[in-house]
Structure 1
Amino acid sequence: MTQNIPLIGVIGGMALGAVAAFAIVKIAKSRRISQFGMVALGLIVGYLQARISGAIIGAIFGWVFTWFVFWLATGKYRRRLPSYATPGQVLWHHTFVVICWAIFIFLITPIIVVMPLSFNAENFFTFTPAMLNFDPAGYSLKHYEDFFTNSDWQGAIKNSFAIAPVATLLSVSLGTLAAIGLSQPFVPFRRAIMAILISPMIMPLIISAAGMYFFYSRVGLQGTYLGVVLAHAALGIPFVIITVTATLVGFDHSLTRASASLGANPVKTFFRVQMPLILPGVIAGGLFAFITSFDEVVVVLFVGSAGQKTLPWQMFTGLREQISPTILAVATILVVLSILMLTTLEMLRRRSERLRGISPG
């Protein structure tokens, strides 16, 4: 019974908040005044319950409840829906939106939680009372300092940046050529070849890693830098093939024929005509290949050696052996880098659509 007390408290608090929001709206009649009153009430109640962190959560809940009440009272819930939509359709529309937001929050919350934990002044993987109270003494950059000064972490980051760019270059070169070749209508067994080339992305990673281990041990590449680079390139090629193939779908092949009719050889046609138009897809595939190589840990455990210990390998070791909170700082840095790369991918996608005339410039 005691385990249900927090849940009952949350439900009761939400119910009381809704009642208070409706009451303030009826009395104040103004959205701005009502929101100010509910935010103030949430601040006071939250501070009494859990100090600063509770005050922040209470203020957010107060603002949300007041917005929701006015959203219902003013009929804005039908603003973006057709006038002929039935109440059931309106309810389903907003239910679907809530489900989508719930899934988004479920997926993004573990990533968001890691970021403030990386500033923990203690060697814990949980929020301390000082952090929850926003006490400056509860926050520190020592885990970031350990990452930038510890020889093990610096060696791992150097290995990652020594392996990932080379593997990406191989993936982009081979994947782009394969995609261009498979886009030609006269190539026999195109679908079968495509299925074989993208199979490393579909195959369970542990099976690919085991197969690479047995193959590389026979040819003398197991435990070498070249072996790790080739293994990561094999994992990145499918991403390049898929992105470049998607870019070639809207490519006008009459441009290459026009270039050939003007005397340009195939190599010059590729670099002067075809490459500028498919470049966004090539770069996007290269970014995917780089992320795949940089974040990969299973294959490098099989085909690598202590001399090729990458950053994910070091993070895995930190979790298994020494439980180092520096992992949180590294994870935060990787999240920031991933966000920057995803932003770059979105910009490249929009540029590609403008070049192909899909969206207005």
Structure 2
Amino acid sequence: MAASVYASPAEKSWHYLHRLICGAVLLFLTAPVLVVVPLSFNSVPFFTYPMSGLSLRWYEEFFFTDRWQSALQNSIFVAVSVTLLSTALGTLAALGLSRPKFPWRTAVMTILISPMVVPVVITAIGVYFFYADVGLLNTYAGLILAHTTLATPFVVITVTATLFGFDSSLTRAAAGLGASPITVFFKITVPLILPGMLSGSLFAFITSFDETVIALFIAGADQRTLPKVMFSGIREQISPTIIAAATVLIVLSMGMLATVQLLRRRSERLRGIRGN
């Protein structure tokens, strides 16, 4: 018979205090981001509290003007292309690194995740000079490849984490039963690592969709993304439409991060079932 465990008053007090401290820190970190959301509904073009009235005029300008919609479409096109390319490359890299006899695993992993460590402005400068020599400046291909460099490490990390609980005996059993390597990959490997792939792809999408520095260096007038238009708008004319665009990005990022969390829990649950 299992013994019942009762928390003492001191333990309960510390438990609630711990939650209160965590909530205060979380509020401190997110308040500067969330405080701009009400301003996007302001009826006047001034960033002041209290607001004089509520209006959706800035959202109407964001969703129904060519300048903002063109930038939004460019961001979506580039982000989707980057997601597909980085998911494919990152998954293949993670599968290769997971092999027991892979040589120089640590060195290769360090190189693959280096774009996450190196300041993005350094990466942007290097990409700019390299693309200037090969003719990829002011092109969609150049912007997609540069964003893929930043996004692929997220896929590598998430898929590698999923592969830690991967049971390689399943693939050996399928191969022993006569399945081809392609069949084993798509019927056994992909379904088992799919949560990690989806999580990595969502991180890749967010990385590309929110990226500004590299776009400022290598994107031309035809490749203006939403963050680039927002940055230019802050320099030229501060408009509440920028706040409306920022609110859309905040909601999108929060939705994707919530999806990543759900996928992570599903992956842990599946690994627990297999472990049992």
**d(CA) in 1 for partners of 2:228, 2:71:** 8
1:273 is matched with which residue? 188
Distance 2:13 2:131 in 1: 58
Cα distance 1:106–1:329, how it changes in 2: closer, same or farther (>3 A)? same
SS of the aligned residue for 1:104 comes to helix
Write the letter of the residue equivalent to 1:261. G
Q: Contact (CA 8 Å) 2:216, 2:228: kept in 1 or not?
A: yes
**What code does the residue aligned with 1:283 have?**
L
Q: SS at the partner of 1:319? A: helix
The DSSP-based 3-state class of the residue aligned with 1:356 is helix
Q: 2:42–2:51: 8 Å Cα contact kept in structure 1?
A: no
Alpha-carbon separation, structure 1, partners of 2:50 and 2:271 = 53
1:36 match:
none
2:207 counterpart of 1:282: no
- Match in the other structure for 1:245: 160
Residue 92 of structure 1 deviates from its aligned partner by 5.2
Q: Would you say how many aligned residue pairs link Structure 1 and Structure 2?
A: 272
CA RMSD of superposed structures (Å):
2.0
Letter in 2 for 1:302: F
Structure 1 Cα separation of the partners of residues 31 and 274 of structure 2: 33
Q: Does 1:217 align with 2:132?
A: yes
Q: What is residue 262 of structure 2 aligned with on the other side?
A: 347
Hey, what's the Cα distance between the residues in 1 that align with 2:254 and 2:127? 31
Q: What are the within-5 Å matches in structure 2 for residues 173-184 of structure 1?
A: 173-184=88-99
Q: Which residue number in structure 2 is paired with residue 318 of structure 1?
A: 233
Of 73, 77, 98, which residue of structure 2 is paired with 1:158? 73
- Structure 1 position 331 matched with structure 2 position 249: no
User: 1:297 and 2:219 equivalent?
Assistant: no
Q: What does residue 142 of structure 2 align with?
A: 227
What letter matches 1:117 in structure 2?
A: L
2:115 maps to a residue whose letter is P
Return the match for 1:110 from 21, 27, 32. 32
CA 250–211 in structure 1, closer or farther in 2 if over 3 Å, else same: same
Aligned to 1:96: 18
Q: Which structure has the higher relative contact order (CA within 8 Å, separation 6+)?
A: 2
Matches of 1:109 and 1:288 in 2, distance apart? 23
Instruction: Describe the shift of the 1:358–1:303 C-alpha distance in structure 2 as closer, same or farther (beyond 3 A).
Output: farther
Q: 2:83 maps to what in 1? A: 168
Change (3 A) 1:81 1:143: farther
AA in 1 matched with 2:47: F
What code does the residue aligned with 2:18 have?
F
Equivalent residue, structure 2, for 1:82: 7
Task: State the Cα distance separating 1:112 from its structure 2 match.
Answer: 2.1
Change (3 A) 1:145 1:129: closer
Instruction: Note if contact 2:71-2:229 (Cα within 8 Å) is conserved in structure 1.
Output: yes
> Greater Rg, structure 1 or structure 2?
1
Q: Structure 2 regions of 5+ residues with no counterpart?
A: none
Q: Is the 8 A contact 2:138 2:218 kept in 1?
A: yes
Deviation at 1:201, TM superposition (A): 0.8
Distance 2:88 2:51 in 1: 52
Question: C-alpha separation between the residues in 2 aligned to 1:146 and 1:81?
Answer: 58
Q: Give me the TM-score of the superposition, normalised by structure 2.
A: 0.93
Choose which of 30, 50, 56 in structure 2 pairs with 1:128: 50
In 2, Cα distance between equivalents of 1:357 and 1:93:
28
Q: Distance in 2 between matches of 1:358 and 1:326?
A: 48
Of 205, 211, 221, 2:120 maps to: 205
Displacement, 1:94? 4.5
Contact kept, 8 Å, 1:120 with 1:127, in 2: the verdict is: no
CA distance in structure 1 between the partners assigned to 2:65 and 2:51 by the alignment: 28
Q: Distance in 2 between matches of 1:284 and 1:323?
A: 35
2:109 alignment partner in structure 1 = 194
In 2, distance between residues paired with 1:129 and 1:264? 66
1:332-356 CA-partner distances (Å, limit 9, x unpaired): 1111112221221122122212221
